[in-house]
Amino acid sequence: MTDAMRALVIEGAGSARVQAVDVPVPAAGQVVVDVHRVGICGTDAELFTGELPYFAQGKSRFPLRPGHEWCGVVSAVGAGVDEAWYGARVTGDTMLGCGSCRRCRAGNGHVCADRHELGITGWPGALADKVLVPAASLHALPDTVDDRAGALVEPGGNAYRAVAAAQAGPGRRVLVCGPGTIGLLAVAFASVAGAEVHVLALDSRRRELAGKLGARRYWMATDPPRDTYDAVIDCTGDEDVPSAALALVDPGGRMVCIGLSPRPSHIDTRDLTLGDMTAVGILGASAGLAPAIAHYGDGRVAPGDLAAVVVGLDQAAAALAGHVDAEPGTKIHIDPRL
């Protein structure tokens, strides 16, 4: 009889359940990881509802197995993989490029035209007892990064890249729009980089958490800031925010877009040009994973407060459907061992 394990399968829009699936066997260059923690994020929720734009583009299809914010321990290695990985605590990249195209050779595998996205497009994700991944995608976790922080490396990598694109540093003022997980982590990374960080939100529910992570001011949409900033980072999924955010960027400043809206967003390129501004889009955490781990490992950024609720795999479907309560601004983590 084939060995089986448990995995969450989204069978169609609004329908998900834990099923028995075959235990993965690593091929050459691959490893199998025993999953310890997996974060539920907005992308997973949109996979569950079928609202993720990837479905319309043919990149995602049902049934699928989600989970791309994860950490665990390597339990099997394939041919050609360094045996030192066996038993290592790891996390890994979501963006799995082909490895041979021009973009991959240039170090831009996260935008490879033939990439897989773990748990999103064609590669089974980590909401399972075990996950199969390429060894080349692994990042080792130091002992100072516990499982809770380990499963926050992927959103942390996204946030770090956004903050780097904003050129956050001493003497610079940065506005973060949208204090979700990535937005709050962007606050933390920008703050430790030396920037003065403000937050713009729809309500006040995340004010305390934003302040704990380094925000100097917390504005709400009903009373937005009247001044401008060296950089604005849009972490929302609101199609109206980019045009409004552009008006808050200083001439010569930068607007960074990492949020994805379900409908097209619009900005007036005349404002962009006449303000001599730079607009940057951020896709994926790849280049930010190692810096995020370093910041977590030495304590510069402490992300643990962003994952206050941990439940077992049997509650993963309920979590995707929004039926597991969590404090505003915090993330639900799944531990398949529970």
pLDDT in tens, 189-241: 999 999 999 999 999 999 999 999 999 999 999 999 999 999 999 999 999 99
Q: Where are the beta strands (DSSP E) in 235-324?
A: 249-257, 278-281, 309-311
Start-to-end C-alpha separation, the chain: 25
- d(CA 69, CA 316) in angstroms, rounded, equals 14
Which ranges in the chain are annotated with CATH 3.40.50.720? 158-281
Q: Where are the beta strands (DSSP E) in 89-143?
A: 89-92, 95-96, 116-118, 122-123, 130-134, 138-140
For residue 1, the model assigns a pLDDT of 39
Which whole number is the average pLDDT over 237-264? 94
Residues of the chain with CATH 3.90.180.10: 4-151+307-334
Asked which of 17-21, 90-94, 261-265 is least confident by mean pLDDT, the reply is 261-265
84 class by beta-carbon count within 10 Å (0-12 exposed, 13-18 middle, 19+ buried): exposed
Among 3.50.50.60, 3.30.70.940, 3.40.50.2300, 3.90.180.10, what is the CATH number of 4-151+307-334? 3.90.180.10
Mean pLDDT for all residues in the chain: 96
Residue 263 pLDDT greater than 90, yes or no = no
- Dihedral of the CA atoms 46, 51, 54, 60 (nearest 10)? 70
pLDDT in tens, 18-54: 999 999 999 999 999 999 999 999 999 999 999 998 9
Topology of the domain comprising 158-281: Rossmann fold (3.40.50)
